[in-house]
Structure 1
Amino acid sequence: MIPWWIPLLTFTIALVVGLLSVRRYRRDRITWAKRRLQLKVLSLELKSLRQKVVSADGRGTPPAKRRLVRKLPRLEVWQKWLIAWLRRPLPWLTRFLRFGPMTDIRWLQARGRRRHALKSAEGKRRGRPQTPPFVVDVILAIKNAHPYYSASRIARMLSGGELKLRIAKKTVASILKAHGFAPRPKGKQPPRESEPGWLTILYNQYVMAIDFKVTLDLAGDTLYILNLIDHGRRVLHWSRATYHPTAAWVAQQLRNAFMDLDAMPEAIVLDRDSTFLPIIKQTLPAMGIKPIRIGYKCPWHNGVVERFHRTLDQDLLRYVQPLNDRHLNRLLVEFRAYYNTARPHMANGVEPPILPDLTGNLAANDPEFFKTPRKLVRKQWLGGLHSSYRWAA
Structure 2
Amino acid sequence: MLARLACIAVTHAFTALRLIPMNDHDKDIEILALRHQLAVLQRRLGNQRPGFQAADRAFLATLLAPLPRAALRRLRLIVSPDTVLRWHRDFMNNRHVRLSRNPRAGRPRTVTSVRRLILRLAEENPTWGYRPIHGELTLLGIKLAPSTVWEILKAEGVDPATQRSNVTWATFLHSQAEAILAMDFIETVTLSGQRQYILAAIHHARRGVRVLGTTAHPTHAWVTQAIKNLVMDLEDAGRLAAIKFVIRDRDAKYPAAIAEILGQAGIRTVLTAVRTPRMNSIMERWVRSLRRELLDRALLWNEAHLRRALREYEQHYNHHRTHRTLQAAAPLHAVPEPLEPVQIERLGIRRRDRLGGVLHEYQHAS
TM-score normalised to the size of structure 1? 0.46
Structure with bigger gyration radius: 1
Q: Which one scores higher on RCO, CA 8 angstroms, separation ≥ 6?
A: 1
Give TM-score, length-normalised by structure 2. 0.49
